[in-house]
Amino acid sequence: MKSAQEIAGLTIGGFEASNILERNQLFSEYINNALPSSNVIDVRVISSPASLNSVAASGRIARKKYFFKVHIETNSKVEKEYEQAELLASSGWPVYAPVMKSENPKFPLLVYPWTDSPTLFDKLALTYKNNQVEIDKKDLKKLEAMNQAIGRAEAGSFKKVLAEQAAKSPIQMFFARRFEAGGRIDDWYKPETTFVLPADDGKSLTLSWQVIMRSKWLINGEVYPQTLEDTVEEARKSLAYSGEDDAWVNTSHGDDHAGNIFLTGNGAKVFDPAAAGDNNPVILADVKALAHSGFLPMAGMYYDPKLPYSYSYDEEGNTIKVDADFSKSPAFEPHMAIASQIINLRINPALNALNKNGADMKNEYKRFKAALAGCALLTVNIAKLLEKNDKRGAGLLAMAVMLNGLSGFEVLGKIGK
């Protein structure tokens, strides 16, 4: 019997060749090992570029349709997801809660009621596919109400703990674990790893990770002097709370990206609480929401962003120059509206609370910026994505630099204001 990790290799993002019948059969076996008393039938794997770290499917138990999902993350162990959903709901989060969980600890699984409601990711994907905005004012109002509720819930669970608790919190599987020596960043990006980037006139520019890491950046005319090598070094210290004694944490979902938000008739609700906990660092709680719903789709993380990118390299000045007009993205306006909601209703109140409680704001900002950069660098393997030459991923390196600099977009300049 294949493990969840092996099944993930056949389903997540479609990177491995496998026919749909094989995927369905494999996950059906997995689900029935997780729920041996339920006799799950008619399993159909749901393939989505948003499911980068999970496997999902529909299926039936006693003729009733359900949604099945298991979270997969290399070098992490996520447990008690059912209880985590209950934790979020009791804290005031608008949660699309699971109704069952695995009966077998070797096969983690959550079971949700079936819904035909689209996710925010679905609406964004249609926007890019059709080259016209598919997110309307009603959707934005639902998201605003959700973000207001989340902001209140996070503020109501604010507490001080030992730094080591924050360093080992569930959400750190996306941040500290990915940046640590020998972690995802070193596994994916070797010094000799090459990135084939778009240049002028349909040509391409090939740069090694070693060059990219040590270069300065000039993006849309703005100078970014900090290198990605500097960013990685800062991330390893700040995200691990190196040299710090205490930390401020709250109860948060931590992974409420666009693919984990259902736009139902009753409002927007989050699901997949794999990274939820009551000891997630306050400064990291809203990072994935901001990065993945506000910026990364424009950089081509999930689909063709329909934007021209132009990279060039000045060897003498050790500078990578990038031209990319993100304002021409089909979803630019909704991206900025959603980012503004998250900043105004969640991030800025959290920063104000941290400041009032005497947190070291210099370190908090370092953590925040490093985590944002990590979302762009370490959610997908950029070098391999570029090899597919399907126009995805071309803006991710530049976006990592911009997010780490909190610059390049007007809304980023409002953080902390």
Sign of the CA dihedral with 359 first, then 360, 365, and 370 last: negative
Q: What is the mean pLDDT of residues 312-320?
A: 96
Where does the pLDDT of residue 27 fall: very low under 50, low under 70, confident under 90, or very high at 90 and above? confident
Q: Which tens digits make up the pLDDT trace of 188-208?
A: 999 999 999 999 877 899 999
pLDDT tens for each residue of 353-387: 999 999 999 999 999 999 999 999 999 999 999 99
Instruction: Please say whether the beta carbons of 29 and 41 come within 8 A.
Output: no
* Per-residue model confidence (pLDDT) at position 7: 56
The number of angstroms, rounded, from the C-alpha of 214 to the middle of its chain's C-alpha atoms is: 25
> What is the bridge-based pairing of β-strands 319-324 and 216-219?
parallel
More confidently predicted of 71 and 305: 305
% the chain with pLDDT above 90:
77
* Predicted local confidence at residue 342, as pLDDT: 98
- Percent share of the chain, pLDDT over 70: 91
Q: Which of these, 318, 313, 175, lies nearest to 235 by C-alpha position?
A: 175
Q: Tell me how far apart the alpha carbons of residues 221 and 244 are, in angstroms, rounded to a whole number.
A: 37
Q: CA dist 139 to 145, 172, 411, Å?
A: 10, 30, 20
The 10s digit of each residue's pLDDT in 80-100 is 667 788 899 999 999 988 888
Whole-number Å distance between alpha carbons of 340 and 116: 28
Instruction: Beginning with the edge strand found earlier in the chain, give each strand of the sheet holding 159-162 in spatial order.
Output: 159-162, 246-252, 277-281
Q: What is the chain's mean pLDDT, rounded?
A: 90
**Would the pLDDT of 78 be above 50?**
no
127-164: pLDDT as tens digits: 999 999 999 999 999 999 999 999 999 999 999 999 99
Q: How far is CA 69 from CA 47, 53, 91, 183, 274, in A?
A: 12, 11, 23, 25, 10
CA 93/CA 369 separation, integer angstroms: 25
Res. 13: pLDDT tops 60: no
Distance CA 18, CA 349 (A): 46
Angstrom distance (rounded) from CA 335 to CA 171: 23
- pLDDT of 15 strictly over 90: no
pTM: 0.88
Longest CA–CA span in the chain (Å) reads: 68
User: In whole angstroms, how far apart are CA 396 and each of 27, 29, 287, 301, 322?
Assistant: 31, 36, 16, 7, 11
